[in-house]
Amino acid sequence: MKEIALHLLDLAENSVSAGAKTVKITVCEDQNADLLTAVIEDDGRGMTPEMVKMVTDPFFTSRTTRKVGLGIPLFKAAAEACGGGLEIQSTPGVGTRVEARFQHSHIDRMPLGNLPATFLGLSVAHPEVHWIFHYTARANGAQECFEYDDQPVKQTLDGLPITHPEVLAWLRSMLEEGIGAAQKILNA
């Protein structure tokens, strides 16, 4: 996976599989502190410390009863290769928080990628989940934020499908324009 936004989609899919009702994704591109942070928090069923160890290092156990993918170990390795890291905090029955950090200017850092496409897909194709998306850009001492909470949107739709073409157009342009506007303050 060549985009941070694709890894976030992968992590979000884990949250949905864990039965999360609310998932919050926070991305901050901070050029002042030379840091890119991505956090995903959910209220899914959570993991025991042993399970956390297992999803971060798939070779930690020889147990084969539970399928463990390589999504998280690869994302962790990518973060560590860029002067950052990945941490998982999880409590069974409460939820999980995954935080990945990258040195923003690191030459090997994968691009953030198409964050609006990731957010649009999640919001439309998992309508049963309450999604909260935050994007912040910081550069030259300035800050721009974009925030999207899909609950007021679903309340407004009030039964009109989220896949209605005009709703899709509205959602897509709102996400693209909102995040694009915030990103304008970043240095090239």
Partner 1 sequence: MPTVKSLEDLKKIREEALKKREIKSSPGSVQIVVGMGTPGIAAGARETLKEILNYIEEKNLTNITVRQTGNIGRDSWEPIVQVVVGENAPVTYGKVTPAAARQIMEQHVVGGKIVNDYVIPA
Per the CB < 8 A criterion, the answer to whether 168 and 125 are in contact is no
Report which secondary-structure segment, H or E, holds 35. Answer: strand 35-42
Q: Which is nearer to partner 1, 32 or 173 (CB)?
A: 173
Q: Should residue 94 be labelled a site residue for partner 1 when binding is judged by CB under 8 A?
A: no
Q: Measuring CA to CA, which residue among 149, 151, 142, 155 is closest to residue 181?
A: 142
Token output for 22: 């609310």
Residue 86 touching partner 1 (CB under 8 A): no
Q: Is residue 81 near partner 1 by the rule CB under 8 A? A: no
Q: Which of 9, 38, 98, 110 forms a contact with partner 1 (CB under 8 A)?
A: 9
Find out whether 164 and 138 touch, Cβ atoms under 8 Å. no
The reply to whether 66 sits near partner 1 by the rule CB under 8 A is no
Smallest gap from Cβ 133 to partner 1, in A, equals: 12
- Exactly one of 22, 83, 172, 185 binds partner 1 (CB under 8 A); which one? 172
91: number of Cβ within 10 Å: 13
Q: Which of 35, 157, 185, 186 binds partner 1 (CB under 8 A)?
A: 157
State yes or no: residue 99 binds partner 1 (CB under 8 A).
no
